[in-house]
A and B are shown apart, each in its own frame.
With several copies, the nearest count.
Chain A
Amino acid sequence: MSYKTEELLAVCIARLIRARPTRHIAVGAASPVPAAAAWLCVKQGDPLHLSLLHKRSGNPFTDGSRELFDLTGQGRIDLFFLGGGQIDGQANINLIGTGAWPGLEVRFPGSFGSAFMYYMSGRTILFREEHSPRVLVDRVAHISAPGTSEPGVFRRGHAQALVTGRCVFDFHPDLGRFSLASYHAGESVESIRAMTGFEFDVPEGVGETPAPSDAELALLRGAVCDEMLETYPDFCARVFERKAAA
């Protein structure tokens, strides 16, 4: 069955979620692909608790907007998603901007909760669809949140992986380096290297990212899309070609 890139990425992320024990996932507002991945796991039968931030009806928080951070501080969030205007080979992320602090060249919106969530979540999946030397850099201009921490700093988790429009990287916090896990159809180790600004390891036998199965695609386009229509109408229209009832 043919599929859209977003569907492939959602399936990639869903596989990463299922690769480790996961009870509670929080998904940010601007994250339809991670949200689709989390819903896919739920619809595949995983007993997951999803907290969808900025969901207008049924917003999960009753203690104001600090509750997500308190919840994460308590160690109850097993998995969070982060992106970045820049991401570097040590999994540092930059949501501040480029040029002199605080982003005098290009200013991104700001760090949001990253400088806390990246440490205090059980683990983080980094997701950035654009895969270019502009985004995946050797060294971020500014660190909103670091990929690893010095001794003496309380840190519950690190990046598990980085999923882009071209490949999946695994992150190794002990080494502070990414390794290529798989490249998407149409890419190769060489094309990934050409489009990536940081060095990464290439294990033996790295191959193509498996395509979504028919069952996965059917779930995404059916039950997952049903759940997402209210919060992400544009995404559902574009990717799944479905519109919410008026």
Chain B
Amino acid sequence: MAASIPDGAMVAVPPDNSIPSVALAKALIRRRARGLRLVGVPISGFATDILIGAGCVAEVNTSAVTLGEAGFAPRFSAALKAGTLVVRDATCPAMHTMLQAAEKGVPFMPLRGLIGSDILANRPDWMVIESPFGPLIGGSREKITLLPALHPDVAVFHAVMADSAGNVWVGRRRECATIAHASQRSLVTVERVVEGNFLEDERLCPGAINATYISGIAIAERGAQPSALLDEYGFDTDYVMAYARAAKTEAGFAEWCAEHVFDNQAVAAE
């Protein structure tokens, strides 16, 4: 599956609390992907840091890159300083808004906040207008920022399960539905494939994403790890702490990668 993601693709990758496919991120490293433009949904975590460390990433468009309790993302910080990574800083609802504009098929959507932030000052692709609607503020029209639609080439995430019809179930992690809607293609790893059709089950349907958005499904057991997967397994803090220590240096990262990415293949996601 990783083979179908071309170098240079814009790839939406959810953070650690939002079921990323770490299995597919590792497969992208193994296939030596280059020049990826990653999109944080709305922030970025472990999967993004290892992709950056392995030299797969040219650009990241996100509101933050963090390993959570394990602290700063070491390979992100190093690449930023080395000048090998373009960072487009945003704020969480701006990422959601740009993806929702794509989801809705409109060229832009407005968002409050932002004005006076250096984030806006560094986003020439965003634009402040006088809102034709809404309250007058101090007798004049409200200033508001318009954000362009963001259309990732590929959404990559993990799901609990897929069904016989190719629907996938992500439960409350509905931001995965938004990126599936906003992206050209969606590639999904799952814990398991089950019989039936989630759309015909009133209990499962609200947490399902329709097969019409899904371009590929591969089974990758514990494919989100070390990230958490709903009530199936938790965030593996020890694993990420160990990574954070190892990845402080480029050599440490290379060693970690040799052990945890190249020696331990989840072939399904290739």
Contact = CB atoms under 8 A, between A and B. Distances in A.
Interface of A: 24, 29-30, 49, 51, 54, 56-66, 69-76, 95-96, 101-104, 107-120, 142-146, 149-154, 234
Of A66, A70, A234, most buried by chain B (CB within 10 Å of CB) is A66
Given A62-B199, A66-B100, A151-B138, A112 B91 contact: yes
B113 A118 contact: yes
B158 to A, nearest CB: 15
B203 interface: no
Contacts of A151: 137-138, 140
Nearest to A94: B118
Interface stretch (B4-12, B64-72, B242-250): B64-72
Interface stretch (B21-29, B206-214, B216-224): B206-214
Contact of B64 (A54, A95, A104, A150): A95
Contact of B93 (A59, A107, A113): A113
Given A60-B212, A74-B103, 17 more contacts: A49-B211, A51-B212, A59-B199, A62-B206, A63-B181, A64-B177, A69-B92, A101-B118, A109-B43, A111-B91, A111-B117, A115-B119, A116-B111, A144-B117, A150-B115, A154-B135, A234-B69
A65 B64 contact: no
Contacts of A104: 80-81
Nearest to B77: A107
Contact of A143 (B62, B63, B72, B116): B116
A153 B172 contact: no
A6 to B, nearest CB: 16
Nearest to B117: A115
Interface of B: 17-18, 41-43, 62-66, 68-69, 72-73, 76-77, 80-81, 87, 89-94, 96, 100, 102-106, 111-120, 122, 134-135, 137-138, 140-144, 172-178, 181-182, 197, 199-200, 205-213, 228, 231, 234
A74 B107 CA distance: 11
A109 B72 CA distance: 6
A113 B174 contact: no
Of B68, B113, B199, most buried by chain A (CB within 10 Å of CB) is B113
Contacts of A71: 181, 212
Shortest Cβ-Cβ A-B pairs, 6 listed: A73-B105, A110-B64, A64-B174, A116-B113, A69-B93, A115-B91
Contacts of A70: 103-105, 181
A contact face: mostly helix, strand, loop, or mixed: loop
A120 B113 contact: yes
A153 B212 contact: no
B63 A113 contact: yes
Contact of B18 (A65, A107, A149): A65
B47 to A, nearest CB: 15
20 contacts: A30-B69, A57-B231, A58-B200, A59-B205, A65-B18, A65-B92, A73-B104, A74-B182, A104-B81, A110-B63, A111-B117, A114-B91, A116-B91, A116-B113, A116-B114, A118-B113, A146-B117, A149-B116, A150-B115, A152-B138
A76 B43 contact: no
Given A29-B68, A64-B173, A152-B138, A56 B93 contact: no
Contacts of A109: 43, 64-66, 72-73
Nearest to B91: A115
B143 A61 contact: no
A83 B182 CA distance: 30
Given A74-B102, A151-B138, A153-B115, A116 B94 contact: yes
Contact of B62 (A61, A110, A149): A110
